[in-house]
Amino acid sequence: MTTKNKLITASILSSSSIAGISLINKLIKISATSKGLLEDSQKLCFHWRLGDIYYTKQGTGSPLLLIHDLNAAASSYEWHSTISQLSKNHTVYALDLLGCGSSEKPCLTYTNYLYVQLVSDFIKSEIGHRTDIIVSGSSSSFVIMACNNSPELFNRLILVNPDSIDVCSQLPGPYSKYYKRLLDFPVIGTLIYHIAVSKSAIRDSFEKAFFNPRAVKESTVDIFYEAAHLGFSPKSIYACVRCNYIRCNIANALKRIDNSIYLIGGNENESVRELFDEYTSYNPAVECSFINNSKSLPHIERPGEFLINVNMFLT
């Protein structure tokens, strides 16, 4: 075989491989989103400058904004076990962050400051009053930064298993930009993303986040799996979280905040007491409580006990 024919054959095989992977990617997306589990005719839309933000609003009383953890599979569904009870005494807003759930997922670099602006703009535009916040996991850092920047918009803050201050301070490593570029490739990058957010990977993450892994419901895994595949570029938020683009040093902001801050942690979460001690060392006014028989997601695993703690703080 001549060199020219070898090059033509290699080109054909390469093109066929790319076409095959592209087809696999399309089939995965279609399969993951076919059930329409996150479709909700009651969702409202906030037309933000970087994309449409979908949210629900229910109940009456003082405003309460629920903000889910920041990862590619997350959405406001994270609060499904608590919204109905909270809405008895509050007007409850639960949004899907940009890049997550049903909200738009543009192909851009997501940063901590982007979400600081999103939360502040949402409160100003859609709520219009000083607001209590319940926020989970990694999203706690940008809520703290937003509260520090615009304290007049925020009332009391409840942080559920927030990241440690050291974790919040992590910067993109030397290989982060290369990994992000790899993920940005339309075919190979999408395949890498689909492997990272496969149903088995999401199930494994839930089992690690629960004190009782057997309590993880397959229906919940299905919903998070669908959330990870909706929208134009769901892999963009994954890349930015994975490469630490959404991190920010919150130490000085935590010191300056004068708002009431309440930390809720799963008692079985490793090092949770040391983490909370770290927060109180920066701000002695921070209050803490722990929920037994739970780890990273007490509001999903133990919603009854979680609501008792929340109501105790908010009343």
* Residue among 130, 132, 145, 123 at smallest CA distance from 53: 123
Give per-residue pLDDT as tens, 188-214.
999 999 999 999 999 999 999 999 999
Residues counted in the chain: 315
pLDDT at 56: 97
Model confidence, pTM: 0.93
Q: Are 76 and 96 in contact (CB under 8 A)?
A: yes
What six digits make up the tokens of 73? 């599979």
Q: Count of CB atoms within 10 A of residue 16's CB?
A: 10
Q: Are 69 and 137 in contact (CB under 8 A)?
A: yes
Average pLDDT value over all residues in the chain: 93
pLDDT over threshold 60, residue 6: no
Confidence of residue 21 (pLDDT cuts 50, 70, 90): confident
pLDDT at 13: 35
Give per-residue pLDDT as tens, 208-237.
999 999 999 999 999 999 999 999 999 999
User: What b/e sequence results for 19-31 when a residue is b if at least 16 CB atoms lie within 10 Å of its CB, and e otherwise?
Assistant: eeeeeebeebbee
Give per-residue pLDDT as tens, 104-161.
999 999 999 999 999 999 999 999 999 999 999 999 999 999 999 999 999 999 999 9
How far from the centroid of its chain's Cα atoms is residue 284's Cα? 27
Say if strands 90-95 and 62-67 run parallel, antiparallel, or are unpaired: parallel
What six digits make up the tokens of 196? 């990272």
Q: Are 115 and 144 in contact (CB under 8 A)?
A: no
Beta-carbon contacts of 129 under 8 Å, excluding residues fewer than 6 positions away, are: 62, 63
pLDDT at 15: 53
Give per-residue pLDDT as tens, 54-95.
999 999 999 999 999 999 999 999 999 999 999 999 999 999
- What's the DSSP call for residue 294? -
What six digits make up the tokens of 104? 């738009």
pLDDT at 227: 98
DSSP-assigned states of every residue in 138-180:
GGHHHHHHHHHH-GGGEEEEEEESPPPHHHHT----TTHHHHH
Q: Are 178 and 254 in contact (CB under 8 A)?
A: no
What number is the average pLDDT over the span 285-301? Answer: 96
Q: Are 278 and 168 in contact (CB under 8 A)?
A: no
